[in-house]
Structure 1
Amino acid sequence: MNQLEMKKAAAQAALQFVKPDTIVGVGSGSTVNCFIEALGSLRHQIKGAVAASKASEQLLVRQGIEVFSANDVSGLDIYVDGADEINPQKMMIKGGGAALTREKIVASLAKNFICIVDESKLVDVLGSTFPLPVEVIPMARSQVARKLVALGGSPEWRENVVTDNGNIILDVHNFKIMNPVEMEKNLNNIAGIVTNGIFALNSAATVVVGTAEGTKIIR
């Protein structure tokens, strides 16, 4: 299977975690787009979905799935999202699509985080293959960048990208994240950072991996 076929296989396999008469939390990104397409087959069995990005919301509507605001629900049974990297402890780097803050918000509502990826996203150490996205309030861009440099990172402003919240993204290269929980907390304490793309405090409960040999589920 090529990469797209692996993503589709993981997305299809994730449908087994969707329970009837529930509202499903949905993230964003190319693998999630495959999941939304597959979720359309269950649109008459579920109540609807909460989307972590405007782009995902539009795709859900096209599938005939009712979209709820995060403010409309007190909790979700599952949240399904992809990752840019995921380690053996099911901790992730996310934010390649600049939706990391809303993804954290929707993920925090769910009992179970189901991460769907193709096998290229599996790493031993976070930061090995993908820079760490950090969402920053625009007026703090330079001062946050200086603090990230002091921590050993090489931040790069993702120009011409504005998040759904009206903020900017700094992609931090050269971070080998040996203690994801500590790093996630420390970065979020820097004034001007809305949140960072480490998902360690709320890691995945289950990982569905599309591989060349088929789909693998890691619980």
Structure 2
Amino acid sequence: MALSQSEQKILVANTAIDTLIEKGLIFSGMKIGLGTGSTAMPAVKRLAEHIKDGTLKDIKAVVTSFQTQNACQDYGIPVYSMNDRAIGGKLDLAIDGADEVDPECSCIKGGGAAHVREKIVEYNAKVFVVIADSSKSVKTIGTKFPVPVEVIAEARIPVENALNELGAVCVLREGVRKCGPVITDNGNQILDCTWKTPINVAEMETKIDEICGVVEVGLFSKNKPIVFISKEDGSVEIRNLK
């Protein structure tokens, strides 16, 4: 019987945490970044289980959203800022989900509007790990799942014009059960962008980040992650684990 998407998320989260501990990439005393979303949450839970049973000790977590902070507080995982002296702006490892992952391990992240904090955490980690179910594995990026661009509210139209020149079709993300746009944890707005043809992820990430008024784009190509992808048959594909 094929695994459901929810079952795949738990499978890939558990497999990733257990494998990374076995390989010595998650260890006692480490500084770890914890991501946001429905796949990241089972990973936080699995990490907490290993702390509770004594496998891991003295873990220092940096989180990417209020959702993850609340989960860590519930599980008793100490939470720090990237700016705390105990962290010093650098992490040993960061683990998170993704909205899409291509064969080169480039990703779209930001479906939960947390990609700015995610990128701060994950681009300052020695090892970046992405966990995803099979629906997130794609051949090309840019034409289906929208690429989020967080923008300063006052710059929305100038940024949209610049994105249009890069071939993007932009939609302002609207709130659910709230009139008006989504407001991020940083107080900004989100433009969701798609293209008619697949994009060069690395080049587009650089070009969008150069637009005045852009806070950050949800393209992740510059810190290539180890990727774990669960399948309906109960297997887990692992990419880029050396």
User: Which of the five TM-score ranges fits, normalised by the shorter chain?
Assistant: over 0.9
- Residues 139-174 of structure 1 deviation map (CA, whole Å, 9 limit, x = unaligned): 011111122122221100012311111101000122
Contact kept in structure 2, 1:132 and 1:175, CA below 8 Å: no
Q: 1:175 to 1:31 in 2, by over 3 A?
A: farther
**What per-residue deviation string (whole Å, max 9, x for no partner) do you get for residues 47-98 of structure 1?**
2311011111111111110101111213222100111111111010111000
Separation in 1, partners of 2:158, 2:128 = 33
2:228: which partner in 1?
208
Q: Residue 175 of structure 1: CA displacement?
A: 5.2
Q: How many pairs align?
A: 218
Greater gyration radius: 2
Structure 1 residue corresponding to 2:192, chosen from 141, 160, 171: 171
In structure 2, distance between residues paired with 1:174 and 1:109: 29
Distance in 1, matches of 2:219 and 2:227, equals: 16
Pick from 20, 27, 38 the counterpart of residue 19 of structure 1: 27
Q: Distance in 2 between matches of 1:108 and 1:63?
A: 25
Flag structure 1 segments of 5+ consecutive residues without an equivalent.
none
**Which SS does the other structure have where 1:90 is aligned?**
coil
Matching of residues 17-96 of structure 1 within 5 Å: 17=20, 18-44=26-52, 45-46=56-57, 47-72=59-84, 73-74=87-88, 75-96=90-111
Paired AA for residue 70 in structure 1: M
- Give the drift of 1:177: 4.0
Rounded Cα–Cα distance in structure 1 between residues aligned with 2:9 and 2:166? 34
- Distance in structure 2 (CA, Å) of the matches to 1:101 and 1:79: 14
Alignment-derived partner of residue 186 in structure 1: 207
Structure 2 Cα separation of the partners of residues 128 and 27 of structure 1: 24
1:13 partner letter: T
Alignment deviations for residues 15-67 of structure 1 (CA, whole Å, 9 cap, x no partner): 13121221211111110011111111023524231101111111111111010
Secondary structure (helix, strand or coil) at the match of 1:43 reads helix
| Deviation, structure 1 residue 176 | 3.6
> Which sits farther off after the overlay, 191-200 or 13-22?
13-22
Taking every aligned residue pair, what percent have the same amino acid on both sides? 39
Residue 178 of structure 2 corresponds to which residue in structure 1? none
Q: Secondary structure at the match of 1:30?
A: coil
- Give deviations 1:2-23, integer Å, cap 9, x for gaps: 0011111110012131212212
**Which residue of structure 1 aligns with residue 151 of structure 2?**
136
User: What secondary structure, in the 3-state scheme, does the structure 2 residue paired with 1:70 have?
Assistant: coil
Gap regions ≥5 residues in structure 2: 21-25, 176-181
1:157 maps onto 2:157 in alignment: no
Q: How far 1:203 sits from its partner (Å)?
A: 2.5
Q: Retained in 1: the 8 A contact 2:144–2:194?
A: no
CA spacing shift, 1:22–1:134, aligned 2, 3 Å: same
Q: Indicate the residue corresponding to 2:122 in structure 1.
A: 107
